[in-house]
Structure 1
Amino acid sequence: MRAVFIATLLAASPALAQDALFDVQGYRIAHYRAPVHQAPPGVGRIAPEAAAHLRPGRDALFIDVLPAEGGHREADGRWRLAAPHDSIPGAHWFPEAGRGVLAPWIGDGFLRGVARLTRGRRDAMLILFCKADCWMGWNAARRLRAAGYRNVWWLAEGVDGWSDLNRPLSRVEPDSGVAP
């Protein structure tokens, strides 16, 4: 009887079955700031030095998924921020899109926003990032690969690696995923 109870509990809560770090689809759902050793399946890993040779918006679409710490999204889709965010110049910021479990308006807005920015091209080069030792860029890269994008790259070192190269950062505003 106890085995049936445990099996039922684990089936009802897949996160418990995986030490609450990953969901059944393989997305990291907790403790996002931790070492990440390899790119998600089907996703390439790009070094900061290589990414620095690309022109955002021309050679590749740079996508930042760092959360909006202390901020929130309004009903109209706009973000109210607690603090400004600096990122790789030319990057598009989709706050919260790197979480393992996404609110529907975050997930839908992320996919709509990427589709708008790529003009629907599934072969556009996409570079996903957050910070060093952060699973959110990894999750977002995995999510876009699962959505059918074929040229997805993960910048594991994120904005930290960019800064380590003495490359400038610039202020970015959140992309709500809604067409301007």
Structure 2
Amino acid sequence: MRKTIWAGALLLCAAPVAAEPLFGPDGYRIAAYRAPVSRPPDGVGRIAPSAAAALRPGRDALFLDVLPAEGGHRESDGRWRLAAPHESIPGARWFPEAGRGVLAPGIAAWFAGAVHRLTRGRRDRMLVVFCRSDCWMSWNAARRLRAMGHRNVWWLAEGTDGWRDLGRPLVRVMPEGGLAP
């Protein structure tokens, strides 16, 4: 009897623990966002930092930074409360939280509406999406833009890290359309 209990206890300890899923049922990454990403989402191109640096943000392409507002949040009136400043590629538009796998209420409509306004409804406008290197949030946002019907979406996998590695400056930015008091 004692051997049976002991063997059962060992089996329980050795039983695999169910890991948290990395992807939701809709295919977006929902956990462990800081991890290597090997390829862009279907229908999205990958752009090298040097090629992105040759573009003029706001003129040749709309640069979209989707790094979250670390320690910050969006108020019900759309204003952002930031815990720390954020630096990005000059001319980029910052959409904190738009790269999460599951978006908080209001974020999806805010992101879609702002991108529609900034592109003037042109779904062929070149969009360059980024956050940091090894960040699934830009992958999610690029996939989301493609699902919204945008046909010229590019993923800058190296993000601001790759930009800085080129010796390019980063500048302080505020969330798109939401002032941080």
Return the TM-score normalized by structure 2: 0.87
Separation of aligned partners in 1, 2:26 and 2:20:
14
1:162 corresponds in structure 2 to 163
Number of paired residues?
162
Matches within 5 A, 1:22-171: 22-171=23-172
Separation of aligned partners in 2, 1:37 and 1:47:
14
**1:94, 1:176 within 8 Å by CA — same for their partners in 2?**
no
1:6 corresponds in structure 2 to none
Larger Rg: 2
Q: Map Cα deviations across residues 35-86 of structure 1 (whole Å, 9 max, x no partner).
A: 0000000000000000000000000000000000000111110101000000
| Identical residues among aligned pairs (%) | 75
2:3 corresponds in structure 1 to none
Residue 146 of structure 1, CA deviation: 0.3
Return the TM-score normalized by structure 1: 0.87
Runs of 4+ in 1 over 2 A off after TM superposition: none
Q: Map Cα deviations across residues 108-144 of structure 1 (whole Å, 9 max, x no partner).
A: 1000010010000000000000000000000000000
Structure 2 runs not aligned, ≥5 long: 1-17
Residue 19 of structure 1, CA deviation: 5.2
Separation of aligned partners in 2, 1:134 and 1:64:
12
